[in-house]
Amino acid sequence: MDKLLITGGSRLNGEVFISGAKNAALPILCAGLLTSDDVHLTNLPLLNDVSTMEKLLSQMGLRMTSDKNAITLNGGQINRLEAPYDLVKTMRASILALGPLLARFGEAKVSLPGGCAIGARPVDQHIKGLQAMGAEITIEAGYIHAKAKKLKGARIVTDMITVTGTENLLMAATLAEGETILENAACEPEVVDLAVMLVAMGAKISGIGTSRLVIQGVANLHGAQHNIISDRVEAATFLCAVAATGGDVVLKNTRVDILDVAIDKLREAGALITAGIAGKDSLHIQMSARPAAVSFRTTEYPGFPTDMQAQFMALNCVAQGTSHVTETIFENRFMHVQELNRLGAAIEIEGHTALVRGMNKLIGAPVMATDLRASACLVIAGLAAQGETLIDRIYHLDRGYDRMEVKLSGLGANIQRVK
Ligand code: EPU
């Protein structure tokens, strides 16, 4: 199993290219199931979750040809309406096949994802929404089995804001009969990116980017071209790394407008951040002093993203002062705390809040990654720590980051993948 060996203490300098967003790419690949025409995607990130999704969709009969970060999908020969357990268990986002398959083919069988490291993460709202659209759903032998000759438009109010729930119902509604209204919809930029792509495919959606999506179902969708939005979580991860180690880095291929909260918090921590100087989609960060601690509370977009919580906590570990970090989205997303404490951090958890006392220094140690963003947090902590940090179980990192250690080495970090 691969590990990452980091010798901390180097400042980061140079330029780094930010990849396309994982959490936009996954639903957008599933949208390829909605049409028999070609769908061309660019800015596709090369990471393991994307490969797993490609495997799942090709098992269904979706044909694909790819060239580096571009892929063409064709759903003209879908012959298997099933997402099997062996793939769903490795990637929960497989649930995103449910809405498109059901809407286009009238049937779908998707393994029920189990719990996961960061929380229970049920999919009851996906099911509730599809039932409201007339689907008959049974759960048997660990599978969600959904059937509907033709989905019917409905007004759906989800109990909470759910990102993939909104995406699943949105995709289903594009081919339903009549009007669907999704209240309490997620407004995350990745949901917007999916909606933009669906509109390019001929879907009729209004309210994009708001919590009320109105969809007029159409009989068919057609092919389209789409450039996947830049990954704001990857961008924030690099920004936090620079803020923790000090340095001077330009991020390319970013979208500044979807990084507001992260940029504000990093400025509060003492970073100098300027947009657009090295080109329209660039972001320049300079950090010369020890960071100041920043408190925050995770919420849905446009609030502070849960997917950046762990990375900012790593920054707080080496910051001056004490911070409060409150996680409100997932009930168990503090698994990195014990590992950070192994590096000499001083973090106490009380309920949903972590109290982080910033330390003058962290000292490298062997640590274990527990989930994707926890892995990224340990990388940042390792870069800021003195001595060697060996991070085990980095398959979590590879699920969602495109060659992170290569990009960091390019910035002068002493980091290598070891077997
Ligand atoms: N929830 C339910 N029932 C549902 C759906 C959600 O109770 O039917 C709860 C969840 O348990 C959670 C909350 O609602 O407490 C929000 O979950 P959400 O459904 O929004 O999460 P998700 O769609 O499963 C996506 C991202 C996550 C990201 C969250 C929150 C993808 C593929 N995944 O997950 O990304 O943390 O939204 O923004 O888009 C990551 O990239 O590291 C990651 C975990």
CA-nearest residue, atom 25 of ligand 1: 163
Q: Kindly report the backbone phi and psi dihedral angles of residue 9, in degrees, each rounded to the nearest multiple of 5, phi listed first.
A: 110, -10
Does any ligand 1 atom lie closer than 6 A to the CB of residue 26? yes
Distance of CA 117 to the CA centre of its chain: 15
Distance of CA 16 to the CA centre of its chain: 19
CA-nearest residue, atom 10 of ligand 1: 121
Q: Which residues contact 264 (CB under 8 A, 6 or more apart)?
A: none
C-alpha radius of gyration, the chain, whole number: 21
Does any ligand 1 atom lie closer than 6 A to the CB of residue 93? yes
Does any ligand 1 atom lie closer than 6 A to the CB of residue 234? no
Is pTM beyond 0.85 here?
yes
Q: Are 293 and 321 in contact (CB under 8 A)?
A: yes
Q: Count Cα neighbours of 337 within 13 Å in the Cβ-side half-sphere.
A: 20
Atom number in ligand 1 closest to CA 160: 14
CA distance 166 to 377: 28
Q: Are 61 and 80 in contact (CB under 8 A)?
A: yes
Each of the 419 residues of the chain gets a pLDDT tens digit; together they read: 899 999 999 999 999 999 999 999 999 999 999 999 999 999 999 999 999 999 999 999 999 999 999 999 999 999 999 999 999 999 999 999 999 999 999 999 999 987 778 888 899 999 999 999 999 999 999 999 999 999 999 999 999 999 999 999 999 999 999 999 999 999 999 999 999 999 999 999 999 999 999 999 999 999 999 999 999 999 999 999 999 999 999 999 999 999 999 999 999 999 999 998 888 899 999 999 999 999 999 999 999 999 999 999 999 999 999 999 999 999 999 999 999 999 999 999 999 999 999 999 999 999 999 999 999 999 999 999 999 999 999 999 999 999 999 999 999 999 999 98
* Per-residue confidence (pLDDT) for residue 118, from 0 to 100: 86
Does any ligand 1 atom lie closer than 6 A to the CB of residue 168? no
CA-nearest residue, atom 44 of ligand 1: 307
163 strand-pairing partners: none
Is there a cis peptide before residue 302, judged by omega within 30 degrees of 0? yes
CA distance 337 to 355: 10
Place of tokens 């940029």: 263
Atom number in ligand 1 closest to CA 167: 23
Q: Are 77 and 42 in contact (CB under 8 A)?
A: no
Instruction: Tell me which of 88, 110, 162 to substitute to probe ligand 1's pocket, judged by most ligand atoms within 8 Å of the beta carbon.
Output: 162
388 Cα: distance to centroid of ligand 1 (angstroms): 34
Q: Count Cα neighbours of 346 within 13 Å in the Cβ-side half-sphere.
A: 12
104 Cα: distance to centroid of ligand 1 (angstroms): 25
CA-nearest residue, atom 16 of ligand 1: 162
* Per-residue confidence (pLDDT) for residue 275, from 0 to 100: 93
- Amino acid identity of residue 395, one-letter, is Y
